Structure formats: structure tokens, C-alpha cells
Amino acid sequence: MIPNFRFMANSEKHSITLQVNGHPYQLELLPWVSLLDALRENISLTGTKKGCDHGQCGACTVLIDGKRKLSCLTLAVMQEDVAITTIEGIAAEGNLHPLQQAFIDKDAFQCGYCTPGQICSAIGLLNENKANTREEVQDLMSGNLCRCGANKGIINAVMAVKQSISHE
């Protein structure tokens, strides 16, 4: 006989409010729903991509209070009272974010699937102010995989924005 573990005892939906790209979203979610799934399936923000769904590729990277976070490994119900920024919230007043423009200028993408996660990760990286050399950018962006091989362009884009910030 299999014991009754009651692991479904907490299967009630929770009412939460997520602040995404400056807008509040009231959601009813099961406790195990990832932030990635809440963004894509409940809020219809599909710019954040589902890659490996195991935190190994970085396609799902978003910003939480300005810091890089893998949304596939983040429980949505634990994200109240934080500012969540997805790729859809990066541009301001119809103008591309400097990193978005740098990705275009430096030919930093091919298929584009990883690009939203790469850009969010790069913004978080610049917010951390840790990457000062190409090697540091390469190391600190290593959690975001580009299977097309646009890594050189990605690093060039991040360094271009880093240099423009340091010259201001």
C-alpha cells in the first residue's frame, strides 16, 4: 500500500500582485508556478523565452529589482513587492534601450531566440558594475547561451554600452 503523503494539500491558488514593467497584475496562481510561466501564460508577455526550463541556458533571464534572475527557477508567488522587468519593459518612450541599439549595431544576434535574455542579463551586468573587460563580460555572461555563435557581437555590444556609460 502506498502511503498518503498529501503533497497536494497546498494545491490552492494564491492571489498575488506582480509588478511587471511598471504595471500591477492580479493573478491567481498555484504555488509551484514559475515566474516564467506566469509571465508567458498568465500575463501574455512572451518576450521572455523558455529554453531549457532548468536554469542552464539563460533564455528566461529577467530583471528583479534591477538584478539578473532566471525566471524558470523563480516561484511567481514569492515575487510580490519587487519590480520585475522583462524585455518588453526595457525600451522607454518609444526609444530602444542603449543595449537593444548596441545589439543591432554590433550584429549581436542571429536567430534572436536568446536575445531577450541576453539583453536583460547584460543590463543586470551593467547595473552590477563588475564587468570592466571583455574577459569579465564573457565570464559573467557565460550563463546565457547563444547557440548561433553571436557571442563576439554580444560582448562587443555590452562593451560599447559600458564604454558609453563610463564616458558620461
At residue 52's C-alpha, the angle toward residues 64 and 57, to 5°, is: 60
Q: How many domains does the chain have?
A: 2
pLDDT of residue 57: 96
In a domain, 148, yes or no: yes
| Residue 157: strand, helix, or coil | helix
Domain that holds residue 142: 98-166
Residue 11 has a pLDDT of 80
| 85/119 same-domain check | no
pLDDT for position 168: 67
pTM over 0.85: yes
Instruction: Please give the pLDDT value at position 130.
Output: 84
Residue 1 lies in a domain: no
How far is 21 from 86, CA to CA, in rounded Å?
7
Check which CATH number belongs to the domain holding 42 and give it.
Answer: 3.10.20.30
Structural domain contains residue 108: yes
For residues 76 and 14, the answer to whether their CB atoms sit within 8 Å is no
What string of pLDDT tens digits covers the 168 residues of the chain? 444 444 445 689 999 999 999 999 999 999 999 999 999 999 999 999 999 999 999 999 999 999 999 999 999 999 999 999 999 999 999 999 999 999 999 999 999 999 999 999 999 999 999 889 999 999 999 999 999 999 999 999 999 999 998 776
Are 102 and 147 contained in the same domain?
yes
pLDDT at 75: 97
Compute and round to an integer the Cα radius of gyration of the chain: 18
CATH of the domain at 104: 1.10.150.120
